[in-house]
Amino acid sequence: MSSKPTLTTAANSMRFETRRGAKDKVIAWLVSYNRRRLHARLGYMISMQYEQRWLAGQLKTVNL
């Protein structure tokens, strides 16, 4: 059985010299995760795809 990497498993195996270094790593992981995670609330799209569609709709409305 393979397990997906999670923030907890990644963080538990790392040591950071500074709190800032740990914070930067967490933020980088979250950005990476959210770029590939499908969101049920967004119609099973990744958040970036949803935002792009929303923006396109907004621009279409403005350009009418």
* pTM assigned to the model: 0.52
List the one residue out of 19, 23, 45 whose CA is nearest residue 34.
Answer: 45
Is residue 35 within 8 A of residue 46, CB to CB? The reply is: yes
Which helix (H) or strand (E) segment holds residue 12: the answer is helix 7-12
> Which residues of the chain, if any, have pLDDT below 50?
1
pLDDT of residue 8: 64
Q: Report the pLDDT value the prediction gives residue 47, as an integer from 0 to 100.
A: 86
24-55 burial, b at 16+ Cβ within 10 Å, e below that, comes to: eeeeeeeeeeeeeeeeeeeeeeeeeeeeeeee
> In this predicted structure, what is the pLDDT of residue 3?
58
